[in-house]
């Protein structure tokens, strides 16, 4: 299922040509027709991606799909925890890279 935009949002998204939009829609739909993962796994992966990309409409969509697929609160909590851990680790590495590349000595603070 494609997450459809509101009319106002649709006008803002008219940056794609009709051909590009059709190709995108086809690609997006293909991600829901999996050969190697089951529906529940697809929903949990989609939820983790939506959370990581900070996409509120996508997060809402996957949470609603999760309920339909009988995903448990515990499973959702573990996905959220994993996204939080990856995000926190990325921020730590980002700060470390800035500190090292700029020769900053935190011990002197």
| Confidence band for 14, pLDDT divided at 50, 70 and 90 | confident
pLDDT the model gives residue 33: 87
Q: pLDDT digits over 46-77, tens only? A: 999 999 999 999 999 999 999 999 999 999 99
Q: pLDDT digits over 20-29, tens only? A: 999 999 999 9
CATH architecture, range 8-102 = Up-down Bundle (1.20)
Report pTM: 0.76
- Which residue pairs from 48-52 have beta carbons closer than 8 angstroms and sit at least 24 positions apart in sequence? 48/79, 48/82, 48/83, 51/79, 51/80, 51/83, 52/83, 52/86, 52/87
- For residue 1, pLDDT over 60 is answered with no
């Amino acid at each position: 299922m494609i997450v459809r935009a509101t009319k106002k949002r649709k006008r803002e998204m008219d940056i794609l040509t009709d051909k590009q939009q059709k190709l995108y829609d086809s690609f997006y739909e293909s991600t829901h027709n999996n050969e190697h993962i089951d529906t529940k796994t697809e929903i949990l992966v989609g939820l983790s991606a939506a959370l990581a990309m900070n996409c509120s409409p996508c997060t809402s969509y996957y949470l609603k799909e999760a309920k339909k697929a009988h995903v448990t609160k515990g499973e959702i909590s573990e996905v959220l925890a994993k996204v939080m851990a990856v995000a926190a680790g990325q921020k730590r590495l980002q700060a470390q890279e800035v500190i090292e590349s700029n020769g900053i000595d935190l011990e002197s603070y």
